Structure 1
């Protein structure tokens, strides 16, 4: 066991006026299984790069370990998988490589296939096996679950449960719960570490948020009451002070000393009330700093004139000589929220594209109304370029509405003027989702919409889909999201 010490860490990107980190200090035990969470753009990947020494910073990071970062870049994709693993971990023996792959429930035959022929899930497993074969390393694992199906995620979480000594960035709540024993969270105003998994951290956060909100309301009421009392007392004091130059009803002169003393007492009381009020305002200013923006998203999709929107009957999809899926039959009716489930390569994305009208080689029957308006969100964000104003104009959507939707998803205002090529992976995905939610569609079709999206934004989108009567067909591997949202599932 050793410690990673972060002391007074301050960092900002060149040309930026905003610090990503400012005077941050904490310790990490290298035996921990550390889940790393925080909203998109807060600096999770940046922090991993600081540990790797990629950027200059002020402050200190000290550690007695070597850091390894996942995902590795595999330059020679045509190499056999075993050669890719040996390049990463040259001291590993064949039996050690085979053991790691078996723990990941991966067929050792994959070792003697060219790396590019493996599925995304198999590539992830092979690279993670190579990473854990390196001894005396502290592993920095950046979003390994993207594009992994539910079964692969479950096996990967079981694998990580047997390991120790890593930081894991993931936005999958169930995956984090089964993989980690500590949570490192980048909040709005600070960074904190808690023992436990994601659910225990989230529960503690909700308790703290609720306490601060209650305290805030209490202080607001007290400040209003004290403000009113101070105003009354000051008015009385001024009135009494001015009266000492008058006379009594009988015509005799007032005791100016007594009246002045009374006025001074009232003024002192007003000052004391003001001091108490100021103390409360200062206490209030310390509250709510880490409460996340979690506004409800709102949309008003148009109602279609028929209950049934689309239907598939006996559909089979075949690429060249390979049958991807067959015997697919289901209907899509208004208000349904349908999750399409299945392993990687089972044809989920192809089914979605087929309904969207893409030229997918298939047999069987696909019926949909000609007047049906579909809004589609792709897995791919690589075509996003230019700024948001240009994007809104190109997509024929209201720019102010798009930006308002993004703000609710915790999108920083300063990002609005930047080119989308410079956005983080999560921010790019939020642009696609916000664009879709701005479109008045009868049917929303989303293909792995939550890749790279932070947990709180996932919860916002989840709440939107539960509360609104919209119709959606989606592919998603986040187990909790699917369980909470889907009214019907299609298993391929």
Structure 2
């Protein structure tokens, strides 16, 4: 067991006016299985790069362990997978590699194929196996699930649960629950570490948020009542002070000493209330600092003229003369929320593209309602470029609504001025989600919409789908999201 101590860490990117981290301190045990969560753009990957020594920073990071980062980059993907492993880790022991691959359900035959011919899931597993061959290192695992189907996620979760000594960046709630014993969260104003899995952290966060909101409401009322009382007492003291000199026509001589004493006493009481008010305001300012902005999203579903929107009968799909799925049968009725399930490469994305009207080679019978308006969220975000204003205009969505949705998904106003191609992967995915939510459609088709999207935003997206109940066909490998949203399940 070794400790990783981070003390007074301060970091900002060159040209940035704001620090990404400021005087951050925490301690990690190198035996932990540490989950790492936080909203997109908060600096999760940056913190990993700081641990790796890739950036200059103020403060101190001290430890006697070495760090290894996942995913590795395989520069030449044409070479055999076994040679790729050898380039990444020349000192590996072959039987240990086979043991790790067996635990991850990867056949030995995959080692002798060119690396590029492996599926994304197989590549991920091979790189993870290579990572865990490097003993006496603390492993930094950055979002390994984005190319894993639901079955593979469960397998990799069990694999990681059998290991220790890593930081795991992931937004998949079920995956985190399956393999971590501590969680590190980047909040609005601090970094927090708790023992437990994601679910226990989430419950603690909700309790803390509710406590702070209740305290905030109580202090708001106290401040209002104290302000009103101080105002009244201050007014009374002024009125009493005036009576020291009597009224113009009274002819009476006031007891100035007594009245002055009484006025001073009331003024002192007013000042005391004012001080208590200021103290309450200061106490209030300490609250709500880490409560996330999670305003409700909205979606405008168009009502179609008939109940059935589309139907597939005995559909088989071909890619370069190779059949990738066969005998697919299902229909989409108005109000359905259908999840397509199946392993990577089983044809789920091809089915979505077929329904969207793309040219797909298929046999069987496919019917789609006439004048059906669709809203499509693809997996790929590499085509995104330009600024948000031009993107909204190009896609015929209301710019104000589009940007309002992005604000609710934790985009800062500064982000609106940036080039989309410079956004993080999670922010790019939010651009696609926001466009879809801003579109008026009969049917929403989303292909792995949650890739790279942070947990808070996932909950917001869940809530809008459950509240407005749009007709939606989607592919998503996060089990918790699919279980919460889907009314029907189609297995490919």
Q: TM-score, normalised by structure 2?
A: 0.99
User: CA shift at 1:435, angstroms?
Assistant: 0.6
Q: Aligned with 2:171: secondary structure?
A: coil
In the other structure, the counterpart of 1:364 is 364
Q: Does 1:407 align with 2:407?
A: yes
User: CA shift at 1:449, angstroms?
Assistant: 0.4
In the other structure, the counterpart of 2:307 is 307
Cα distance in 2 for residues equivalent to 1:433 and 1:75: 32
What is the RMSD of the two structures over their aligned residues, measured on CA atoms? 1.2
In the other structure, the counterpart of 1:491 is 491
Map 1:453-468; keep pairs closer than 5 Å.
453-468=453-468
In the other structure, the counterpart of 2:22 is 22
Give unmatched runs, 5+ long, in structure 2.
none
Cα distance in 1 for residues equivalent to 2:33 and 2:469: 40
User: CA shift at 1:32, angstroms?
Assistant: 0.6
Map 1:338-417; keep pairs closer than 5 Å.
338-417=338-417
Q: Give the conservation status (yes or no) of the 8 Å contact 2:300–2:439.
A: no
Q: Aligned with 2:288: secondary structure?
A: coil
Cα distance in 1 for residues equivalent to 2:389 and 2:63: 45
Q: Does 1:5 align with 2:11?
A: no
Q: Give the conservation status (yes or no) of the 8 Å contact 1:247–1:253.
A: no
Cα distance in 2 for residues equivalent to 1:428 and 1:332: 29
Cα distance in 2 for residues equivalent to 1:398 and 1:469: 22
Q: Aligned with 1:146: secondary structure?
A: helix
Aligned residues: 492
Cα distance in 1 for residues equivalent to 2:195 and 2:31: 13
User: CA shift at 1:252, angstroms?
Assistant: 3.6
Q: Aligned with 1:329: secondary structure?
A: strand
Cα distance in 1 for residues equivalent to 2:427 and 2:190: 21
Map 1:14-413; keep pairs closer than 5 Å.
14-246=14-246, 251-413=251-413
Q: Give the conservation status (yes or no) of the 8 Å contact 1:88–1:131.
A: no
Q: Aligned with 1:363: secondary structure?
A: strand
Give unmatched runs, 5+ long, in structure 1.
none
Deviation string 1:412-464 (CA, Å, 9 cap, x unpaired) is: 11110010111000000000110111111110100000000000100000011
User: CA shift at 1:251, angstroms?
Assistant: 4.7
Runs of 4+ with deviation above 3 angstroms: 247-252
Q: Aligned with 1:171: secondary structure?
A: coil
Q: TM-score, normalised by structure 1?
A: 0.99
Task: Give the stretch that moved more between structures: 274-283 or 85-94.
Answer: 85-94
Q: Does 1:421 align with 2:416?
A: no
Cα distance in 1 for residues equivalent to 2:83 and 2:195: 38
Cα distance in 2 for residues equivalent to 1:250 and 1:383: 87
Q: Give the conservation status (yes or no) of the 8 Å contact 1:34–1:167.
A: yes
Cα distance in 2 for residues equivalent to 1:342 and 1:91: 37
Deviation string 1:213-262 (CA, Å, 9 cap, x unpaired) is: 00000000111111111111011000000111006998541211000000
Cα distance in 2 for residues equivalent to 1:320 and 1:14: 48
Q: Give the conservation status (yes or no) of the 8 Å contact 2:448–2:474.
A: yes
Cα distance in 2 for residues equivalent to 1:168 and 1:268: 58
Deviation string 1:37-57 (CA, Å, 9 cap, x unpaired) is: 000000000111111111111
